[in-house]
Structures are given as C-alpha cells and as structure tokens.
C-alpha cells in the first residue's frame, strides 16, 4: 500500500472511531436516574397521592405484546417468592389505557400463567408511565417515595439489584 493510501486508511479509521465515541457520549443517557423519567414518576406519584397503592411497592409498566416484559415475568415471580411476600411489598401493574379488552385479558392471562399476583392493574398513558420503554419498574419505599426505577428486561444482575433494594440492602 502506498504511503498516501495508508495515511488515508488510518485517517478514515480514526475519524469513524471519533464520530462513534462523540455520538455515544452525546446520545448516552443513564436510565437509572430518577430525573430521566419524570413523567413516569408523576403517574406513580399520583397513584400514591390518591391512595391507590399501598407501599412499599414494586410498580411495573408492562405491555402484553412486549417480549422483554414476557422475559422478565420469571424474575418477577422469583421476586414474589424470594422476598416480596416476606417484606410485605405490594406489586402493581400499569398498562396502556388504549388496550382493547382482548389484549387486557391477554395481559391478565400472561400474569396468571407466570403465577404473578398483583394487587391491582391500572390503565394509564403508558408512554408517560414508561417514556423510554417497557418494562419499567418503580420501587416505592415504606414512606411512599419512589426511590429507584429500572428500565428494560430483568436480567440476573438486575434481579439481584431489585431484590437488594426491596430487602433494604441497597438504598439511595
């Protein structure tokens, strides 16, 4: 390869790398910060203010057509069995207010299939409840304050973190 082509080649690689890093820094926003999800907090806070939920509670924004929600149900079932029943933590679900009755029945069937017992299911503007996407989980502590939230599919690591918050091991 000639020296000019080699310089051009290295220049191109560095340019692409710098653009990628700059884009990542510009567009990346951590999703576990409570300030990143204000509209979701407003909905959960309104449920708290209206005495619609008891706490401590785990509130999950879900959708019957969401594969990430479906993949998370096994972990929610484990949470109920591992800690939530012992800690008197309540479980609530938020679904889209525009769900048809058949989709709403499907959502209940999914929860029942995975043996997830919820206190109540609320129909809300899901785009406001979970602006980044579903599933979104909110933890309301014993004082009625949303102290943590998680966005996206529950994994082994996220399960351990949620369990730790519910059991009081991790506090903000």
**pLDDT single digits (tens) 41-70:** 778 888 887 888 888 889 999 999 999 999
Does residue 146 contact residue 138 with C-beta atoms inside 8 Å? Answer: yes
C-alpha span between 67 and 53 (Å, rounded): 27
pTM, to two decimals = 0.72
pLDDT at 31 over 70: no
How far CA 156 is from CA of 50, 113, 153, in Å, comes to 34, 21, 10
What average pLDDT does the structure give for the chain? 80
pLDDT at 122 over 80: yes
Whether the link from the prior residue into 69 is cis, omega within 30° of 0, is no
Which ranges of 28-142 would DSSP assign to H, the alpha helix? 38-49, 67-79, 101-113, 126-129
pLDDT (tens digit per residue) in 91-113:
999 999 888 889 999 999 999 99
């Amino acid at each position: 390869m000639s020296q000019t082509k080699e310089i051009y080649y290295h220049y191109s690689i560095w340019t692409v790398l710098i653009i990628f890093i700059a884009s990542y820094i510009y567009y990346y926003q951590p999703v576990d910060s409570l300030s990143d999800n204000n509209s979701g907090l407003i909905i959960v806070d309104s449920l708290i203010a209206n005495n619609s939920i008891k706490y401590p509670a785990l509130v999950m924004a879900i959708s019957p057509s969401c594969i990430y929600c479906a993949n998370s149900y096994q972990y929610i079932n484990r949470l109920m069995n591992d800690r939530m029943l012992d800690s008197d933590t309540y479980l609530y679900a938020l679904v889209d207010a525009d769900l048809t009755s058949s989709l709403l029945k499907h959502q209940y069937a999914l929860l029942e299939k995975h043996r997830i017992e919820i206190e109540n299911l609320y129909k809300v503007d899901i785009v406001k409840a979970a602006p980044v996407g579903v599933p979104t989980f909110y933890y309301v502590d014993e004082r009625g304050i949303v102290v943590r939230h998680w966005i996206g599919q529950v994994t082994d690591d996220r399960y351990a973190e949620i369990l730790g918050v519910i059991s009081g091991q991790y506090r903000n």
